[in-house]
Amino acid sequence: MRRFHSYTVESYLAYLRNLKLKRKITDIHLHHTWKPTKKTYYLASNKEKIIYGMWKYHTQTLKWRDIGQHVSVSPDGLIWDGRDVNLMPASISGHNKNAFAIEMIGNFDKGYEKLEGAQLEAVKKLVKGLFEIFHTKKLIFHREYSNKTCPGTSLNKAMFLEEIENRIKILGDSVATKEQMKQYLLTVNPVPKIQCTPEEIVNYYLNEGATEGVRGDIAFAQALLETGFFRFGGIVLPEQNNYAGLGATNATQKGRAASFSSPQIGVRAHIQHLKGYASKEPLVNPAVDPRYTILAERGLLGSCIYVTDLNGKWAIPGNDYGEKILKIFDKFIFFSVKEESANREGILEENKKLKEDNMRMQEKIKKYEALFNTIKKEIDHFS
């Protein structure tokens, strides 16, 4: 049996850096599998068999020499090896000579599955790493050279490239899950100094962020940076419910920065301040951020579209401030949670199907038992 191995993004890129390349690679090809789907992968007890199934189809049905792609990116953010990197892929007809081919497991056409979470972040980090290793910036979506929708109609290439270059917007939908955010926090700091449960504060960030159109997961990463993972120890005290250092400067006395009546209001103020930097749109909830008007007075409303735009504005001098937020975000988006909701839904659905199959089997067994008893009685009658 052909074997395949999984890597983290970092370990796979390290492997590539040490690999002796025998051909020039200038093009990074991006595909989605369409089949197998994310659900198929989640339900598989042996994940390697999903990759093996693709190899079997490529070699036995399509008669290719090996699996077509160099790597496959699975929904859990792992990188599975494939065709030898020193060999051309079976990727896009007529465009394979200098290509490196990536398959993302899933169907990412609109209305089907979504490229998100650990898988999305893994693909972005992988492509960025390949750009650096191969000294190229050329990313090709399969559909650019075919009449297919691959790698999915839900993917916008311009936006995808922006995200690869760390051009992560402050506004938008959260990508991280509640469990990733909570479990990562508790791994780093098992006893956060907050006036609520870790689960509650995560919910506050996601819900308040959704209300104002701010990415709650990015705001949460910023809170972890500002508070030292809710250890505090600086100017702001834990009981102030101030998770963003609002009103705290080098000249501020300890405990004299902004205070809020509850953790939720503290999170709301943080979200509102972020929205002020990222947008000129009015707030949805009444303002509780005491420094929101200052942003307006200084002409800073809408001045920071991307997280890295906060450099030198939110924090002064603030060198690499946005990058530090994204580094923390990067950590928890890849944090492995045993049973994420996507897995759970698929497993429950599969369990339901198995129960139905079992009931049908039990009915057949009863019929066969009845038939057996009838035949036995007939035999006893004649003996």
pTM of the entire predicted model? 0.65
Confidence band for 342, pLDDT divided at 50, 70 and 90? very low
The domain tally of the chain equals 2
Q: What is the CATH number of the domain that holds 80?
A: 3.40.80.10
Residues 100 and 204 in one domain: no
Cis peptide before 151 (omega within 30 of 0): yes
Residues 39 and 121 in one domain: yes
More confident residue, 273 or 332: 273
Residues 220 and 146 in one domain: no
Q: Is the residue at 344 inside a domain?
A: no
Q: Is the residue at 102 inside a domain?
A: yes
C-alpha closest to that of 209 among 261, 241, 170: 170
Residues 73 and 95 in one domain: yes
Q: Please say which residue of 112, 137, 164 terminates a domain.
A: 164
Residues 210 and 289 in one domain: yes
Is it the case that residue 98 has pLDDT exceeding 90? Answer: yes
Q: What is the CATH number of the domain that holds 241?
A: 1.10.530.10
Q: Please say which residue of 295, 318, 333 terminates a domain.
A: 333
* CA angle at 231 for the pair 226 and 236, rounded to the nearest 5°: 55
Q: Is the residue at 314 inside a domain?
A: yes
Residues 201 and 309 in one domain: yes
Indicate the average pLDDT of the chain: 91
Q: What domain range includes position 251? A: 178-333
Rounded Cα distance, 45 and 39, in Å = 12
Is it the case that residue 339 has pLDDT exceeding 50? Answer: no
Residues 273 and 182 in one domain: yes
Residues 67 and 99 in one domain: yes
Cis peptide before 36 (omega within 30 of 0): yes
Which pLDDT score, from 0 to 100, does residue 1 have? 84
Residues 278 and 190 in one domain: yes
Q: Is the residue at 340 inside a domain?
A: no
CB within 8 A of 353, min separation 6: which ones? none
